[in-house]
Structure 1
């Protein structure tokens, strides 16, 4: 049991990111399904419904993800205005990039396979969610919530080479 605790502690950012990533994905999927269903009941179908539902679900997921990533995953405790605005700005920017990737894939799949097939749309949503989770982790870990004292691995390695010629 202590080995499991050690592993979790050692890899906290990955373990917690996966947990909250799953929660964020669920928030995104549930809100996507709700808005797809809601808009369909008002007669909106096709690519427009997919894109609008995806963007709205993205907003809900990004708000949830920012809060959980900041507080629990990467434990960024600074709430000074400069740091907070940097984190929000880079977080939203990175998420916009992955939103465009996700939306492009979903729209492309709808074009190729038909937009009224909700089973295929949800399968594509699952595939894009995996891609998006991986990209978002990389952006968050290496750019957004990187601790000021942390050096990039390349910087550490280059310092070791200079110290030990």
Structure 2
């Protein structure tokens, strides 16, 4: 048990990022499928709403539990939130472009493409968050 705790403490940021990334994906799916299946909202509108919900959830959990930021000044948090949303928007555009290329240009299957792209986006989001949004000052 001590070894597990030692490994966790050494890799806490990455482990928490993976855990909360899974929760973020869950938030996205729950919102998306609730809007499309229960409320009969068009899938594109549901996807936008789900993306917003997931990004908000990701911002809060990344800030508090992954990168453990404690500065709560409005100006600082607003700047950080803007950077977070812009970086997620960039990775969202990258995700769409890579999916298009893999599926329509290179004829890879949709499922394998989505899985591959998800890994790329998770890594890209982590880099953006670590280097740009939640960097240590």
Please give the TM-score of this superposition, normalised by the length of structure 2: 0.80
Contact (CA 8 Å) 1:31, 1:60: kept in 2 or not?
yes
Aligned position for 1:72 = 65
Within 5 A, what are the aligned runs for 1:37-56? 37=37, 41=40, 49=43, 51-56=44-49
Alignment coverage as a number of residue pairs: 134
1:160 equivalent in structure 2? none
1:101 matched to 2:90? The reply is no
- Shift of the alpha carbon at 1:142? 1.2
Partner residue in 2 for 1:163? none
Partner of residue 130 from structure 2, selected from 141, 145, 158: 141
For structure 1, the 5+ residue unaligned runs are 113-119, 149-165
Q: Where in structure 2 are the equivalents of 1:1-165 lying within 5 Å? A: 1-37=1-37, 41=40, 49=43, 51-105=44-98, 124-148=113-137
Shift of the alpha carbon at 1:101? 2.0
1:99-137 CA distances to partner (integer Å, 9 max, x unpaired)?
A: 21233455667868xxxxxxx766654443322211111
- CA separation of 1:35/1:130 partners in 2, compared to 1, >3 Å: closer, same or farther? farther
Measure how far apart 1:81 and its partner are. Answer: 1.8
Report the structure number with the largest CA radius of gyration. Answer: 1
Task: Name 1:154's counterpart in structure 2.
Answer: none
1:102–1:20 Cα change, 3 Å: same
